[in-house]
A and B are shown apart, each in its own frame.
Chain A
Amino acid sequence: MSDGLQDCVLVVDDEFLIAQTLSIQIEDMGLIVCGTAATAADAIALAKAQRPRLVLMDMRLKGVGDGVDAALAIHESVGSKVIFITASREPAMLERMNQDHPAAILYKPVFGRQLQTVVREVLAAD
């Protein structure tokens, strides 16, 4: 990997249990979770520190800024791929997410092998 990114996944969600569930599923795939963040600022800081290959990004976050803001910053500074995981299906929100050229969008609730399938596809797309 010449882009300097680590083979790990950053999970961003302000709900602990959801972040935890996602992390378990990622680890179940044999991947490493390099951290979980609940705010946009934390997410950006963690991403800069860990340089993850992939970020699972929730839309609504605690504090200032939402998932799109964080994803844009991470995409610019680190270059990680972003999979949005959102409970929202409103057209305005979709438009905002698409600005960031997301690798994929998943709608909550995300069940079963859905997440693992998508993550595998995104990582294989290199």
Chain B
Amino acid sequence: MSLTDWLLDPSGLTPHGFCLSWLPGLIWLHAGSDAVIGLSYFSIPLALAWFVRKRNDLAYRWVGHLFVAFILACGLTHMLSILTLWMPAYGVEGMVKLVTALLSVATAAMLWPLVPRVLALPSPAQLARLNADLTRTVEEQERTAALLRESEAKVLAANSELERRVAERTDELRAANAQLTEALAERAAALEALAGSEAEYRASFEAAAVGKVQVNPETGLLLRANNAFARMLGYNRADLAGRMEWPDLLWGEDRTAEGRELARLLAGEASIYVRELRFRRQDGTPVWGRVSATLVRGAGMRKAGARLPPLLLAVVEDVDTMHKTALALRESETRLRLAAEGAKLGIWELDLARGLGWVDRRTAEVTGGTLPAETWFPLSGPEYAAWADWIHPDDRAERAAGLRLLQTGAAELVQMQYRVRRAADDPGGADGGAGDGGGGWIWLSHRSAIVARDPVTWAPTRATGVLIDVTERAEAEAALREAKADLELVVAERTAALKQRDLLLREVYHRVKNNLQIIDGLVMMQGLQLKDTDERQALMGLRSRVYALGLVHQQLMASPDLENFDIAPFLDELARNILLSGADDGVELDIDICPLTVNLDFAIPLGLLVTELITNSLKHAFPDGRGTITMVMRRREEGGVLLVVADDGDGISAPSPVEEGDAGGYRRGLGSTIVKGLVAQLDGTITMRFDKGTRAEIILPTPAVGMAGSPVGLAAS
């Protein structure tokens, strides 16, 4: 049996209508009732589902859904009952009933425990009551809020009213304040003005540089005095006001005169008096003051209408220094005048602004009275024009240029020197020498300066100057110039003479040398005639000595002053020549000579001395023709000059015996005599040694050389 058979016809039985015997009434009763029940059962869950779906806030919604399913299942069983009237589909019917049964059981089972919980949910009545309570509360609150708003509005209104009134009041106060401030400022200004004028008065009184005094003219008592007044009289200020009386401060001799002036003031004959008079200082000395005094009669009306006695106000200027200065000025003017007269100073002044000139008596004298003395004269007038004629024509231009510098203000100080004609009655005329026909000329030194300038244009307005008669000086200078010219002439003559002397000296030296050369020639020719070797050698020695003399003259001619020359090259050349003319080639020279300036008197003996010593060494020291001759000259620290001539030869083999004590141990013979004599001539000493060759040590005083390069010195000697 298939599932479909089982569902639609499981038993092979007849449909249910059969049981009802197909009675139409019964059949339709069942079918109709089941249809209505089924449709109703379909309708109820649909409505329920709609409700549940719409009400989202519903508690236990799943119960609603269970009901929907369960009622739908019940509706379906009724629909299947209709079907089974005509079809034996009892399988399907049974399955549907099973589903319905399951749903019913589930619903029934779940409904029980749910009931207490659903009961716990508030009922609509409860909610309605709660709602009503809430509504009431809300209404009360709204009422309270309305009341609050009303009262706020009232407060606002009150507040704005208050502000308005405050503003009004503030304006009133401000206005009142402004009025008050103005009034106060006026008052302050008034007070300040008052204080100011009082302070000014006090300050002008107290701090014035001049003395100020207030005196009661009736009693003479000092009411007030300032520092300057106290200082002037040497008092302490505290000792004056209220303690001293005006007349007591005056110098005795001036008191009466002052009293008269005061009386005139009091009598109303004068409103002020100004007078210079002496005061008496505390230390008893007088001091000059200039008093300006006046009487103040209304001074007492200032307050309360009480009339006070008149007040004497006096201003006292210290003119003591001025008085003394004026005195000193008079003295110094007197002195200046004396000095000016004594020094033959002339003084003049120029008032450039007014074109006037002024000269003192001395200047007037110099001008020969052309210019008036000590009175102002116009510079454009005839006096000044006449004065121009007195000036030396050669000097006019220079003087005019100098004055122009001063008048234009180009120079502050102008100094010039010019000649003017000597006045006939000039006191200096007797001793002045430079006669020029009539009165001759005198030299004036004119020194002038600008002393005042216009403060605005700065043009010079005043100039002053002094004139000095410098004729004597100018003449002395001229004489000096003349003397100098004479001297120069003499010097030139002397110079020429010296040049001539130099020329002659050169000529003499030249001739001396020529003559020495001739002598040398004669000796040589004589030597040629001799057969004897010793004699010929003696003549050779003679030639060496002549050569030394000639060489000195050679050096002299080469020296710039023909007098002094350096000994070093001379000795060098001398030694080399002696060697060249008489020695074998094996002999050498070792020369070390310090520079030393010498003259003829030193060089000739020294040259001959060296000639002798070297010749001697050449003659005796080197029998085999070999060796060295040393010549050293140096300044000694203890003064003087040391000359050493030595050889390293065999001194023992010398043919002549050595004798101590004779020329310091020098050999006998002509050479010995010459050496001894020349050392003595040079104020020197000689020591000979023969231990290792021959060694001559000669100590000489340093040669005194006259003014080097001074031909005059030679000429004078």
Q: A interface vs B, CB < 8 Å?
A: 15, 17-18, 20-22, 24-25, 60, 87-90, 107-114, 117
B513 touches A87 (CB 8 A): yes
Report 10 cross-chain contacts, Cβ distance below 8 Å, ordered by A residue: A17-B521, A21-B525, A24-B521, A90-B557, A108-B516, A108-B517, A111-B520, A111-B581, A112-B580, A117-B580
> Is the C-beta of B546 less than 8 angstroms from some C-beta in chain A?
yes
> Is the C-beta of B238 less than 8 angstroms from some C-beta in chain A?
no
Q: How far is the CA of A60 from the CA of B551 in the complex (A)?
A: 19
Shortest Cβ distance from B555 into A: residue: A89
| Residue among A60, A90, A111 with max Cβ neighbours from chain B (10 Å) | A111
Q: Which of B516, B517, B557, B581 is A89 in contact with, Cβ under 8 Å? A: B557
Q: How far is the CA of A108 from the CA of B546 in the complex (A)?
A: 11
Shortest Cβ distance from A94 into B: residue: B558
> Is the C-beta of B422 less than 8 angstroms from some C-beta in chain A?
no
B581 touches A107 (CB 8 A): no
A110 CB contacts on chain B under 8 angstroms:
517
A20 touches B521 (CB 8 A): yes
Q: Which of B573-587 contact A (CB under 8 A)?
A: 577-578, 580-582
B557 touches A109 (CB 8 A): no
Per-residue A-contact encoding for B535-554, CB less than 8 Å = 1, 0 else? 00000000110110011001
Q: Which of A17, A60, A89, A108 is B558 in contact with, Cβ under 8 Å? A: A89
B516 touches A24 (CB 8 A): no
A24 touches B525 (CB 8 A): yes
B557 touches A88 (CB 8 A): yes
> Is the C-beta of B514 less than 8 angstroms from some C-beta in chain A?
yes
A114 CB contacts on chain B under 8 angstroms:
577, 580-581
B513 CB contacts on chain A under 8 angstroms:
87, 108-109
B554 CB contacts on chain A under 8 angstroms:
87, 89, 107-109
Shortest Cβ distance from B506 into A: residue: A90
B543 touches A18 (CB 8 A): no
CB distance from B115 to the nearest CB of A (A): 167
Given A15-B514, A18-B517, A89-B554, decide whether A111 and B547 contact each other with a Cβ distance below 8 A: yes
Given A15-B518, A21-B520, decide whether A111 and B525 contact each other with a Cβ distance below 8 A: no
A18 touches B580 (CB 8 A): no
Shortest Cβ distance from A89 into B: residue: B558
Q: How far is the CA of A10 from the CA of B44 in the complex (A)?
A: 187
> Is the C-beta of B110 less than 8 angstroms from some C-beta in chain A?
no
Q: How far is the CA of A20 from the CA of B580 in the complex (A)?
A: 21
CB distance from B513 to the nearest CB of A (A): 4
A21 touches B521 (CB 8 A): yes
- Chain B, interface size category, equals 20 to 34
Q: How far is the CA of A17 from the CA of B515 in the complex (A)?
A: 10
A90 CB contacts on chain B under 8 angstroms:
506, 557-558
Given A109-B546, A111-B544, decide whether A18 and B581 contact each other with a Cβ distance below 8 A: no
Shortest Cβ distance from B516 into A: residue: A109
Shortest Cβ distance from A19 into B: residue: B521
A108 touches B514 (CB 8 A): yes
Q: How far is the CA of A22 from the CA of B544 in the complex (A)?
A: 17
> Is the C-beta of B8 less than 8 angstroms from some C-beta in chain A?
no
CB distance from B543 to the nearest CB of A (A): 6
CB distance from B521 to the nearest CB of A (A): 3
Q: How far is the CA of A87 from the CA of B556 in the complex (A)?
A: 12
A15 CB contacts on chain B under 8 angstroms:
514, 517-518
A88 CB contacts on chain B under 8 angstroms:
510, 557
A21 CB contacts on chain B under 8 angstroms:
517-518, 520-522, 524-525
In order of increasing CB-CB distance, the 10 nearest A-B pairs are: A112-B581, A21-B521, A109-B550, A89-B558, A87-B513, A17-B518, A111-B547, A109-B517, A108-B517, A17-B521
B520 CB contacts on chain A under 8 angstroms:
21, 109, 111
Q: How far is the CA of A90 from the CA of B680 in the complex (A)?
A: 34
> Is the C-beta of B528 less than 8 angstroms from some C-beta in chain A?
yes
A87 CB contacts on chain B under 8 angstroms:
510, 513-514, 517, 554, 557
B521 CB contacts on chain A under 8 angstroms:
17-18, 20-22, 24
Q: How far is the CA of A118 from the CA of B700 in the complex (A)?
A: 36
B514 CB contacts on chain A under 8 angstroms:
15, 18, 87, 108
Shortest Cβ distance from B559 into A: residue: A89
A22 CB contacts on chain B under 8 angstroms:
521
Q: How far is the CA of A111 from the CA of B523 in the complex (A)?
A: 11
B581 CB contacts on chain A under 8 angstroms:
111-114
Q: How far is the CA of A88 from the CA of B507 in the complex (A)?
A: 9
Q: Which of B558-582 contact A (CB under 8 A)?
A: 558, 577-578, 580-582
Q: How far is the CA of A25 from the CA of B525 in the complex (A)?
A: 10
B506 CB contacts on chain A under 8 angstroms:
90
Q: How far is the CA of A81 from the CA of B522 in the complex (A)?
A: 27
B522 touches A17 (CB 8 A): yes
CB distance from B619 to the nearest CB of A (A): 14
CB distance from A72 to the nearest CB of B (A): 22
CB distance from A124 to the nearest CB of B (A): 17
CB distance from A14 to the nearest CB of B (A): 10
Q: How far is the CA of A22 from the CA of B524 in the complex (A)?
A: 10
Q: How far is the CA of A109 from the CA of B518 in the complex (A)?
A: 9
A108 CB contacts on chain B under 8 angstroms:
513-514, 516-517, 550, 554
CB distance from B662 to the nearest CB of A (A): 30
Q: How far is the CA of A17 from the CA of B517 in the complex (A)?
A: 9
A89 CB contacts on chain B under 8 angstroms:
554, 557-558
CB distance from B347 to the nearest CB of A (A): 66
A112 CB contacts on chain B under 8 angstroms:
543-544, 547, 577-578, 580-582
CB distance from B83 to the nearest CB of A (A): 177
B543 CB contacts on chain A under 8 angstroms:
111-112
B546 CB contacts on chain A under 8 angstroms:
109, 111
Q: How far is the CA of A111 from the CA of B518 in the complex (A)?
A: 11
Q: How far is the CA of A117 from the CA of B547 in the complex (A)?
A: 17
Shortest Cβ distance from A58 into B: residue: B514
Q: Which of B52-80 contact A (CB under 8 A)?
A: none
A24 touches B517 (CB 8 A): no
B528 CB contacts on chain A under 8 angstroms:
24
A20 CB contacts on chain B under 8 angstroms:
521, 525
B580 CB contacts on chain A under 8 angstroms:
112-114, 117
CB distance from B570 to the nearest CB of A (A): 12
CB distance from B47 to the nearest CB of A (A): 166
Q: A15-B517, A107-B554, A109-B554 are in contact. List 18 more A-B contacts (CB 8 A).
A: A18-B517, A20-B521, A20-B525, A21-B521, A21-B525, A24-B521, A24-B524, A24-B525, A24-B528, A87-B517, A89-B557, A108-B514, A108-B516, A108-B550, A109-B513, A109-B517, A112-B578, A113-B581
Q: How far is the CA of A21 from the CA of B527 in the complex (A)?
A: 12
CB distance from B167 to the nearest CB of A (A): 127
CB distance from A115 to the nearest CB of B (A): 10
